[in-house]
Chains A and B, each alone.
Chain A
Amino acid sequence: MSSNTLTAAEASGPQKPAAGFEGDRQDNTLGGAVRGYLDKLRGGDLGALPAVLGIITLGILFTVLRPGTFLTPLNLANLAVQATPIIVLAMGLVFVLLLGEIDLSAGVVSGVCSAVLAQVLVQSGFGWPVAVLAAIVTGAVIGMFTGSLVGMVGIPSFVVTLALFLGWQGVTLRLIGQGGTVPVREPVIRALANENLPLAVGWALAVLVAVGYAAIELWRWRAKRARDLAHQPLVLVVLRVVLMAVVVLGVTAILSEDRALSAAVDLAGIPYAIPLVILLLLVVTFVLSRTSFGRHMYAVGGNAEAARRAGINVTRIRVMAFVISSSLAAISGILATSRLSSVTPDAGAGNTLLYAVGAAVIGGTSLFGGRGRARDALLGGLVIAIIANGLGLLGVAAYLNFVITGGVLLLAASVDALARRRAATAR
């Protein structure tokens, strides 16, 4: 930031009185958009690039290493279902990470909520709606507790959630019992990860998503252009719309193929868990980018003091981040329970948290706060699931699996830290 840049801008700047934003118009061309994107990359904001590259390279790698196994409808469906609890947990963590905080207990909170779900179903004999509600309320209350300790008492979130990481494991152990496993055979819960949408419904949903996305994007583009506001060039909008349609319809096509191993049975369709994740993705994206609550979330993460001076209730935002994170952890726990059809005392422990944090960070959410989106959880969660799935297919020894996954998180965190340094020096 030197006076040179400014004087240069002045010299070349528009001299028309009271019309100051010729730049907006430049940005509306394709060249301007490309330049803007390159500037962003150079400034250290890599966005979705690492995750997308990761999905492509890892996909190619495992396809080559395990031809005929990795890239089959059966494995891809497995992979997608495997990814859902990671994605949902990561989506919750995005809220916490946005504030520059961490929740080390998110994984085991999902475990506690799973245990509550199982106990309500099995011991109390209630139906799934009560059990699901109980699990999510448990998550919300836990989040309120964590958030209050961080936001009101002022204990660093790292310490609070490290303590709770141990504490909640004890609670799960108490609920499930040492060495015990509570099987969950409730049909609706089980169906989430183990049953598929009817083919016609799957296609209808896919078309709805593709067309809906196109309609919203094009409508917004038109409205902005009509009012002469900053907008992307139409080519780019169309490209995004087409890309979205190709991905959504492509995935639907793959999942609609019969993937049964024996010819006697039919196994095809989108697993129920996937539309659930898409729905959560839409809701979280909407909250973060279209509501003032979401805007305040970013503001607190970017500059808490500025947010406070702007009259934002910073404490409330902090508490809410943990409430949302833990509630989504509960949903993640429900998905995990569905996939395993049971709850064990170590539910949500082990590498659950590492996977979710890794997913968010690989997807582009910053550990330093202020940057993150719902889609980061989706893209990063897919990268993590591909790694877990691929290493499983390769039959890699357990120790190597740990080392590799830990390494991937470190790599993502390094990219994040370096990007931040770049952004700081770029100014």
Chain B
Amino acid sequence: MIVSMFGVLFDGLAYGMLLFLLSVGLSVTLGMMNFVNLAHCTFGMIGGYVTVTLMNSMGWPFLATLPAAFLVAAAASVVFERTMFRRLYRSTDLDQCLLTIGLVFVSVASAAWLYGTIQQPVNLPSYLRGSYNVMGVTIGVYRLFLIGMSIVITVALVGALEYTRFGAQVRAAVDNQRMARGLGINVDGAFAVTFALGSGLAGLGGALAIDIVGLDPSFALAYLVYVLIVVSVGGLGSIAGSLVAAIVLGISDMAGKYYFPEIGSFLIYLVMLSLLMWRPVGLFGKR
């Protein structure tokens, strides 16, 4: 029982880290730019398909595809932002939802047309496969890798936002756009870069997720729900909030499926409801 509990905690942590990578970008852009981007997981899906394509059709090694997944998703988001999203920054939430959910359906259909509706296979390199057995607890190498990656990314992200001049300019622009512009800060540019960064991380998350949750065209829609839960439970715009929320939800999802298989998939919603009843603005949210 104790042993399985550690196993569930470990798997839940790894799953939570994955959810974190997928959602942190949305939390930042929603919190900062007030733009409701329901197509966020589309960028995750793009990342996933980039990795699959590069590995299976072009023979790239798995690790080499990860930066590509990040870059292609980030680049795609810049195209979306320039051509569509920026026109709706001052529109109502409903307009933004309609546009972006429409994009989700388009992306789901495009992926099905290009790749079919089957689950995409991914062949991890041997050094990422297998597991250790630590005092009876099974520690999967890939899950360990996931956790390590996420920690590195979190540290880099917080470092960039808190300790660089660019990060300070982004925070200044979030606090007071007009004053930031009045001091020569290119607010639109700073937001576009941040948006691309968040989408790139979703792309990376999508690539890393294939081995754990699989990849098919429904990804953009299926994971939207999880990502929205993470963002609302964590609190808009809070990186720490997203991290904590993602871990809590990852662990409760795993625990639910393991201990209460009959209601397993519902536990995550119960956790969300109780957390939001306790703190309506999210764990670390300010509004």
Are A and B co-members of a single complex? no
